[in-house]
Chains A and B, each alone.
Chain A
């Protein structure tokens, strides 16, 4: 897709997203708030996995850390929610960077396992520090109200705040991956030895990516704490991390739009599955997953990209311009 087309598409989608509160309210709108939050988390994971080629099955842990930082700040010190979100992002950046340093030694499966066990341990650790986290009871917070006497319901205000943060985070990420740094990340993914011989500081970039990725996911976690107004250890179980991975693979690795598509998938498809079969909704979800991987092994974004390339190819080759090859992101095996 050309640069211009993608900017136009982005503007159209953003305008549509901002006009959503005019058409729906209450729980429906809240579901879209969730989609925005998931989209930020997926963007973080996609930076790490899709662009930098480092697997993580443990991003639920950073989501939990972000959520708890925000919740504890609001609960213990009564700090306004707006301030807790950047703090959660910065702290998660530090934690992610520190976790990324030792993770440098690990590749592929081993990194996936290390992060997987991190995700598993998090609920137990959260329960252990009962004094701060409220143990398995969790912390109950209050939902933010619209300021300046705006005539908006809590859900509408929350949606608009979340959407705005999502747009900012996505613009930042889109610029990041298009920049010199983004090219370095992709170069490390595709061939880290070649990248290093070109002067890319692979170790630094990899751990920084881990940090930035954790920051994105942490901000998403903080937003979820604000939106749901409740945090409890068991909502950050390992299935959350697995869901994030499912989101980016279904949406499309190494694709900005893939994160939005993946977020829509992980928010709505389990509900559809529940509509289809009350008895075994997760079985239906599992079948969806496997079916999707058969039909679109490169995710929805990858499939759309292929379709797009097929649609424009005759024109491009007819002009004798550069050959368009269906190059898709595929992390090295």
Chain B
């Protein structure tokens, strides 16, 4: 039973990372119907920036805040400069542009910081916490806390600020929003900025576990896809719940189903995506689209 609880906890911890990245994917998908394949690489790049800042002598939380700010500005700039020119082009054109971004970020990171793995510090204490016979990693608990804090902030922003309302309006009905005086183009750019910030949090939280290297986010992004699919690509809440569920399932299956182990871990994500798509394509919390013909 102890093992079970521990696995669930570490599942929740990795789930928090998937949830952050899935949330980033969902935010962009909701606003523009595009899946940003470069989301994970953008997060990886932001994490490298944080690493450089810390190497230059900045304290952890200083670098943390600065990285999130840079990621936000970077996300806005990418949307305005790179995505906007192809906004109204066929969807595959936009997909190719995000794939182009993916290889650029990956390659530039490898060029600037080399492909060697770099240790990345965790802001949380090293000693694990003990509750009876169950041991919790402090980094795991910290990760879950950070994810939850980010979520609450995001919820408050979208629910209670005029800007959040304007962004929701722009995502739901661009034409009417424009008539109501909302600058839809800028709202989309802000959405990209927020998504990039969330991705950066995911990167900063996962780097101490996986150690930093340019291909760090590849596997994470697949699980984020699985999380977003499970929760529903149209629901931010779903993305978060999906992230935690995927994290738990991944850990439990890896522990208890012996023939899967670590070798077929990605296949588990595949199986999850396909089962969800076949049973309930809109995901647990997603809306089903009803179209008039």
A and B are partners in one complex rather than unrelated chains: yes
In the bound assembly, the distance between CA atoms of A193 and B292 in angstroms comes to 11
Choose the segment among A154-162, A166-174, A242-250 that binds chain B (4+ C-beta atoms closer than 8 Å). A242-250
Main DSSP-derived SS at the A contact region = helix
Task: Tell me if B95 counts as interface (CB < 8 A to partner A).
Answer: yes
B278 touches A330 (CB 8 A): no
- Interface residues of A, count at CB 8 A: 45
Q: List residues of chain B with CB within 8 A of the CB of A331.
A: 90-92
The residue of chain B having its C-beta at the shortest distance from the C-beta of A282 within the complex is B107
A249 touches B270 (CB 8 A): no
- Known contacts A113-B277, A283-B103, A286-B103; decide if A330 and B90 are in contact (CB<8 Å): yes
**From A55, A117, A128, contact of B273 by CB (8 A):** A117
A279 touches B99 (CB 8 A): no
The residue of chain A having its C-beta at the shortest distance from the C-beta of B112 within the complex is A280
Main DSSP-derived SS at the B contact region = helix
The residue of chain B having its C-beta at the shortest distance from the C-beta of A125 within the complex is B267
- Known contacts A114-B274, A294-B86, A297-B89; decide if A286 and B263 are in contact (CB<8 Å): no
- Known contacts A116-B225, A118-B270; decide if A287 and B104 are in contact (CB<8 Å): yes
In the bound assembly, the distance between CA atoms of A114 and B269 in angstroms comes to 10
A249 to chain B, nearest CB (A): 5
In the bound assembly, the distance between CA atoms of A193 and B291 in angstroms comes to 11
B229 touches A290 (CB 8 A): no
Q: Which of B241-293 contact A (CB under 8 A)?
A: 263-267, 269-270, 273-274, 277-278, 281, 293
Task: Tell me if A293 counts as interface (CB < 8 A to partner B).
Answer: yes
In the bound assembly, the distance between CA atoms of A331 and B281 in angstroms comes to 21
The residue of chain B having its C-beta at the shortest distance from the C-beta of A237 within the complex is B218
With most chain B CB atoms within 10 A of its CB, the pick from A279, A288, A289 is: A289
Q: List residues of chain B with CB within 8 A of the CB of A124.
A: 263-267
- Known contacts A113-B225, A120-B222; decide if A290 and B82 are in contact (CB<8 Å): yes
A289 touches B96 (CB 8 A): yes
A333 touches B33 (CB 8 A): yes
A58 to chain B, nearest CB (A): 10
The residue of chain A having its C-beta at the shortest distance from the C-beta of B98 within the complex is A290
Q: Which of A280-321 contact B (CB under 8 A)?
A: 280-283, 285-290, 293-294, 297-298
In the bound assembly, the distance between CA atoms of A100 and B45 in angstroms comes to 37
A293 touches B278 (CB 8 A): no
A286 touches B104 (CB 8 A): yes
Task: Tell me if B123 counts as interface (CB < 8 A to partner A).
Answer: no
**From B29, B91, B103, B265, contact of A285 by CB (8 A):** B103
Q: List residues of chain A with CB within 8 A of the CB of B263.
A: 124, 127-128
Choose the segment among A14-22, A26-34, A104-112 that binds chain B (4+ C-beta atoms closer than 8 Å). A104-112
Task: Tell me if A98 counts as interface (CB < 8 A to partner B).
Answer: no
Q: List residues of chain B with CB within 8 A of the CB of A109.
A: 29, 33, 35, 233
The residue of chain A having its C-beta at the shortest distance from the C-beta of B272 within the complex is A117
Task: Tell me if B62 counts as interface (CB < 8 A to partner A).
Answer: no
- Known contacts A286-B103, A290-B101; decide if A55 and B92 are in contact (CB<8 Å): yes
B155 to chain A, nearest CB (A): 25
B115 to chain A, nearest CB (A): 12
A113 touches B229 (CB 8 A): yes
Task: Tell me if A204 counts as interface (CB < 8 A to partner B).
Answer: no
**From A112, A125, A290, A333, contact of B97 by CB (8 A):** A290
9 contacts between A and B (CB under 8 A): A114-B274, A120-B222, A128-B264, A280-B107, A280-B111, A286-B103, A286-B104, A294-B86, A331-B92
